[in-house]
């Protein structure tokens, strides 16, 4: 019985969770792409946004820190710079490793890109 409990516990500890992080970028005024643009544009600035969140025991949210929030802030920063596009967008998802993530799940996203003003419009 003890071996069965230990084996079950080991299987639960070794099995990881898989999550898929997506962001819906639906903005009519700011065009967002992971590539470059064909046409003329004027660079307005390089932006990097980092969102950090925290969940206790993996299901009690303290702060969200999602990819969606990082993308929304990126669009807001582009608007402040009078840009109408963000090009060469890169993103990275951050999550805690196993021993820490069982109790204290720190997560977040970093989004960076170049804010530009498209001159062909």
Tell me how far apart the alpha carbons of residues 20 and 24 are, in angstroms, rounded to a whole number. 13
Q: Which DSSP helix (H) or strand (E) runs through 10?
A: helix 2-14
Evaluate whether 84 touches 117 at the Cβ level (below 8 Å). yes
Q: What is the pLDDT along the chain (121 residues), one digit of tens a residue?
A: 787 767 676 665 555 554 555 556 666 788 888 888 888 999 999 999 999 888 777 677 788 888 889 999 999 999 999 999 999 999 998 877 766 666 667 788 999 999 999 987 6
What's residue 55's pLDDT? Answer: 77
What's residue 23's pLDDT? Answer: 59
Q: Where are the beta strands (DSSP E) in 19-103?
A: 31-32, 41-56, 60-63, 85-95
CATH of domain 20-118: 3.30.110.70
- pTM of the predicted model as reported, rounded to 2 decimal places: 0.69
């Amino acid at each position: 019985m003890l071996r069965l409990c230990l084996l079950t516990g080991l299987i639960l500890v070794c099995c990881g969770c898989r999550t898929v992080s997506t962001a819906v970028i639906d903005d009519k005024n700011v065009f967002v792409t992971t590539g470059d643009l064909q046409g003329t544009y004027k660079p307005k600035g390089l932006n990097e946004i980092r969102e950090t969140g925290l969940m206790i025991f993996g299901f009690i949210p303290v702060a969200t820190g999602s990819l969606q929030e990082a993308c929304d802030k990126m669009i807001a920063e582009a608007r402040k710079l009078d840009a109408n596009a963000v090009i060469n967008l890169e993103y990275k998802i951050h999550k805690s490793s196993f021993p820490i993530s069982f109790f204290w799940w720190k997560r977040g996203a970093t989004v960076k890109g170049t804010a530009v003003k498209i001159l062909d419009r």
